[in-house]
């Protein structure tokens, strides 16, 4: 059994890679591609060539998030970051908790050294010796608490200064690079080379290279001057980068994870959301408890009502209990959640009608000042407390989550029980003198567990994925909301983290179901 579980856990790794890659690929192929929301055009064809400022911004963001890299490279980089084992230079973590990496190499502007400038102009600057801080890490660790703080801060300041300088240089270079690209587009248009311009209004170096440069073109001079400017900005940015690199190599911040010789065990880094600028981990950490709160109340209610009523329907087959519960559950199941949710809000929550329930959110705005349990303060004012407040807010969303869920589970239970009621071993048990109740609970139900376990495996992942519709109606910022946002905005980090989490939970639920199968039915073994 242990070896089986281990094998299954290891098999999850390639499965998860496959799932995340597939999802990533689909999003990358969708209109606008990864990070569509960041780009001003959002995938639409934009003919206004004057939007230079926007192009610069796009170029900056592409550079910052690596969006200009091929999709495979982007995925590989993400995979390397979440992989718990790292090779080579280890990442460092700054005091705010952000992971700092060695600055990425800068891309050379298109056709540099060919149409403008020379190979010699593009040579990389010399590698600088590693920066030497005022204090070594050993000295810092030996120092007192306050001194230590100052020492750490001086390292931080040194790195920040260099990083800011590099950021400025890089921004200037990106502007210059955007300029030369736009000039090349203008050049191509003047030449009448339609194929040399992409839909995004960018030059295609391959096409241009094949036609060769035309010195008679009206933009020839501009290409030369803008190109020289871009190369100059590039070299300046490279020197600034080298300065940051020298400081980085001297380790201004503590390294992440645990070193084991050449490799390091590191906590997975899910990165930052493009659109919200916050770490994905933090975003999920905020949304997940809301979804879990709703589902951890809703799913047990579904199980505790559907399974006993299914059992009851099976034991009283054909009576009004059986027919009535079946009809009621199917009727409930048929009510669209959108409609039921809006009706519940309108009639039960709206203050012009019943007004008995809150309209939105999971807590009152002032909930943080509440005590946990209901209490009466010194002035005799009653306060409902945090727990009761939450319960009160949760009522309507949970009711909407629950009402449609009874039918399937109850019918499944009933069918499984009926299958077993007619089994030969039930007759044997009866012939032994076992009482009717014991036959139902001990013999029939135990044999009816397998379909219920299968249901569990399919219901469990819903715990985390949340319900988009209910979260929209009741304004709950849960997982469903987060996932839809990630998909709509093609937020790479957020999306991949969500997909990874949900598919992991899915695979684990399947594994648990398989283990439960073996526990419920001795005929199933995995050895």
Partner 1 sequence: MNTATTTHPDAASRKPTAEEPILQVKDLAVSFDNGKGPRIQAVDGVRMSVYPRQTLAVVGESGCGKSVTAMSALRLVPTPPGRYDRGELLYNDGRSVVNVLELSDKQMQRIRGDEIAMIFQEPMTSLNPVYTIGDQILEAILLHQHVKVKEAVEIAVKAMDDVGIPQPRERLKAYPHQFSGGMRQRVMIAMALACQPRLLLADEPTTALDVTIQAQILELLNDLRRTRSMGMMLITHDLGVVAENADVICVMYAGRVVEYANVFELFENPLHPYTRGLFASIPKMHQKRHRLVTISDVVDDEEQFRKLPGAEDGVRPWWPWHDPPKDLRSRDYAAGDYYLQEVKEDHWVGVWRTEAVSEHESRPPDLTYRISDDPTRQKE
Q: Which of residues 367 and 426 has its CB atom nearest to partner 1 in the complex? A: 426
What number of other Cβ atoms are within 10 A of residue 37's Cβ? 15
What number of other Cβ atoms are within 10 A of residue 338's Cβ? 13
Kindly state whether residue 425 participates in binding partner 1, applying the rule CB under 8 A. yes
Min dist. Cβ of residue 2 to partner 1 (A): 21
**Separation CA 513–CA 181 (nearest Å):** 57
**Separation CA 51–CA 71 (nearest Å):** 26
Kindly state whether residue 321 participates in binding partner 1, applying the rule CB under 8 A. no
Which structure tokens are listed for 241? 């980068």
Kindly state whether residue 104 participates in binding partner 1, applying the rule CB under 8 A. no
Kindly state whether residue 447 participates in binding partner 1, applying the rule CB under 8 A. yes
**What are the residues whose beta carbons fall under 8 Å from the beta carbon of 276, sequence distance 6 or more?**
283, 494
Stretch that binds partner 1, among 10-18, 45-53, 329-337, 442-450 (CB under 8 A): 442-450
Kindly state whether residue 89 participates in binding partner 1, applying the rule CB under 8 A. no
**Separation CA 337–CA 325 (nearest Å):** 20
Number of residues that bind partner 1 (CB under 8 A): 20
Q: Residues 50 to 69: which contact partner 1 by CB under 8 A?
A: none
Kindly state whether residue 297 participates in binding partner 1, applying the rule CB under 8 A. no
**Separation CA 64–CA 465 (nearest Å):** 30
Kindly state whether residue 520 participates in binding partner 1, applying the rule CB under 8 A. yes
Q: Which of residues 320 and 339 has its CB atom nearest to partner 1 in the complex? A: 320
Q: Which of residues 22 and 435 has its CB atom nearest to partner 1 in the complex? A: 435
Stretch that binds partner 1, among 288-296, 379-387, 422-430, 492-500 (CB under 8 A): 422-430
Q: What is the DSSP letter of 367?
A: G
Min dist. Cβ of residue 411 to partner 1 (A): 22
Min dist. Cβ of residue 445 to partner 1 (A): 10
What are the angstrom distances between the C-alpha of 488 and each of 92, 350, 485? 32, 31, 5
Min dist. Cβ of residue 452 to partner 1 (A): 14
Min dist. Cβ of residue 438 to partner 1 (A): 9
Stretch that binds partner 1, among 52-60, 216-224, 242-250, 518-526 (CB under 8 A): 518-526
Stretch that binds partner 1, among 52-60, 104-112, 349-357, 443-451 (CB under 8 A): 443-451
Q: Which residue has the tokens 């799913």?
A: 299
Kindly state whether residue 443 participates in binding partner 1, applying the rule CB under 8 A. yes
What number of other Cβ atoms are within 10 A of residue 393's Cβ? 22
DSSP string covering 478-526? -HHHHHHHHHHHT-HHHHHHHHHHHHHHHHHHHHHHHHHHHHH-TT---
Kindly state whether residue 424 participates in binding partner 1, applying the rule CB under 8 A. yes
Q: Which of residues 353 and 425 has its CB atom nearest to partner 1 in the complex? A: 425
Which structure tokens are listed for 418? 């009926």
**Separation CA 205–CA 188 (nearest Å):** 10
**Separation CA 496–CA 500 (nearest Å):** 6
Min dist. Cβ of residue 522 to partner 1 (A): 4
Min dist. Cβ of residue 423 to partner 1 (A): 7
Kindly state whether residue 433 participates in binding partner 1, applying the rule CB under 8 A. yes
Q: Which of 46, 69, 121, 521 binds partner 1 (CB under 8 A)?
A: 521
Q: Which of 29, 190, 323, 435 binds partner 1 (CB under 8 A)?
A: 435
Q: Which of 96, 145, 216, 432 binds partner 1 (CB under 8 A)?
A: 432
Give yes or no for a contact between 74 and 67, defined as CB atoms under 8 angstroms apart.
Answer: yes
Stretch that binds partner 1, among 49-57, 134-142, 428-436, 454-462 (CB under 8 A): 428-436
Q: Which of residues 213 and 513 has its CB atom nearest to partner 1 in the complex? A: 513
Kindly state whether residue 523 participates in binding partner 1, applying the rule CB under 8 A. yes
Min dist. Cβ of residue 454 to partner 1 (A): 16
Min dist. Cβ of residue 513 to partner 1 (A): 17
Q: Which of residues 246 and 429 has its CB atom nearest to partner 1 in the complex? A: 429
C-alpha closest to that of 19 among 510, 506, 403: 506
Q: Which of 9, 200, 427, 488 binds partner 1 (CB under 8 A)?
A: 427
Q: Which residue has the tokens 């995995």?
A: 526
Kindly state whether residue 430 participates in binding partner 1, applying the rule CB under 8 A. yes
Min dist. Cβ of residue 432 to partner 1 (A): 4
Q: Which of residues 246 and 520 has its CB atom nearest to partner 1 in the complex? A: 520
| Torsion sign, CA atoms 334, 337, 341, 343 | negative
Q: What is the Cα gyration radius of the chain?
A: 31
Which structure tokens are listed for 171? 């921004």
C-alpha closest to that of 174 among 104, 237, 224, 105: 237
Give yes or no for a contact between 392 and 357, defined as CB atoms under 8 angstroms apart.
Answer: yes
Helices (H), 218-279: 220-249
Q: Enumerate binding residues for partner 1 (CB under 8 A).
A: 423-425, 427-436, 443, 446-447, 520-523
């Amino acid at each position: 059994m242990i070896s089986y579980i281990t094998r299954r856990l290891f098999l999850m790794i390639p499965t998860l890679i496959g799932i995340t890659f597939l999802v990533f690929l689909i999003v990358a192929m969708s209109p606008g591609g990864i990070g569509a929301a960041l780009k001003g055009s959002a995938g639409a064809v934009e003919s206004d060539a004057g939007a230079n400022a926007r192009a610069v911004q796009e170029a900056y963001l592409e550079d910052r998030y690596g969006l200009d890299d091929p999709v495979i490279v982007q995925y590989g980089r993400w995979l390397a970051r979440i992989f718990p084992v790292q090779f080579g230079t280890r990442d460092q973590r700054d005091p705010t908790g952000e992971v700092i990496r060695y600055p990425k190499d800068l891309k050379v502007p298109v056709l540099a050294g060919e149409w403008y400038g020379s190979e010699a102009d593009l040579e990389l600057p010399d590698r600088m010796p590693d920066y030497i801080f005022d204090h070594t890490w050993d000295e810092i660790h030996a120092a007192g608490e306050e001194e230590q703080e100052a020492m750490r801060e001086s390292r931080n300041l040194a790195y920040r200064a260099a990083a800011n300088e590099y950021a400025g240089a890089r921004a200037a270079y990106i502007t210059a690079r955007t300029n030369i690209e736009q000039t090349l587009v203008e050049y191509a248009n003047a030449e009448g080379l339609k194929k040399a311009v992409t839909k995004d209004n960018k030059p295609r170096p391959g096409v241009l290279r094949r036609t060769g440069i035309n010195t008679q073109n009206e933009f020839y001079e501009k290409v030369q001057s803008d190109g020289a400017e871009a190369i100059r900005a590039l070299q300046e940015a490279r020197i600034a980068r080298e300065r940051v690199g020298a400081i980085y190599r001297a380790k201004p911040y503590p390294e992440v994870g645990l070193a084991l010789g050449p490799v390091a065990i590191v906590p997975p880094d899910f990165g930052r959301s493009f659109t919200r600028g916050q770490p994905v981990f933090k975003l999920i950490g905020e949304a997940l408890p809301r979804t879990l709160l709703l589902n951890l109340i809703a799913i047990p209610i579904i199980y505790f009502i559907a399974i006993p009523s299914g059992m009851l329907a099976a034991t009283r087959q054909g009576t009004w209990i059986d027919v009535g519960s079946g009809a009621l559950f199917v009727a409930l199941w048929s009510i669209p959640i959108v409609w039921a949710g809006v009706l519940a809000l309108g009639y039960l929550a709206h203050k012009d009608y019943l007004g008995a329930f809150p309209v939105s959110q999971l807590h009152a705005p002032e909930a943080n000042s509440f005590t946990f349990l209901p209490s009466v303060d010194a002035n005799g004012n009653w306060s409902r407390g945090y727990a009761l407040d939450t319960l009160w807010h949760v009522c309507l969303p949970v009711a909407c989550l629950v009402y449609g869920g009874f039918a399937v589970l109850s019918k499944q239970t009933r069918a499984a029980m009926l299958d077993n009621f007619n089994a030969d071993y039930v007759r044997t048990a009866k012939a032994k003198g076992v009482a009717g109740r014991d036959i139902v609970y001990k013999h029939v139900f135990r044999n009816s567990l397998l379909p219920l376990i299968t249901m569990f495996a399919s219901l469990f992942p819903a715990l985390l994925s949340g319900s988009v519709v209910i979260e929209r109606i009741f304004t709950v910022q849960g997982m469903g909301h987060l996932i839809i946002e990630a998909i709509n905005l093609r937020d790479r980090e957020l999306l991949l983290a969500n997909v990874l989490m949900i598919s992991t939970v899915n695979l684990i639920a399947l594994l648990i179901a398989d283990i439960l199968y073996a526990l419920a039915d001795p005929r199933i073994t995995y050895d």
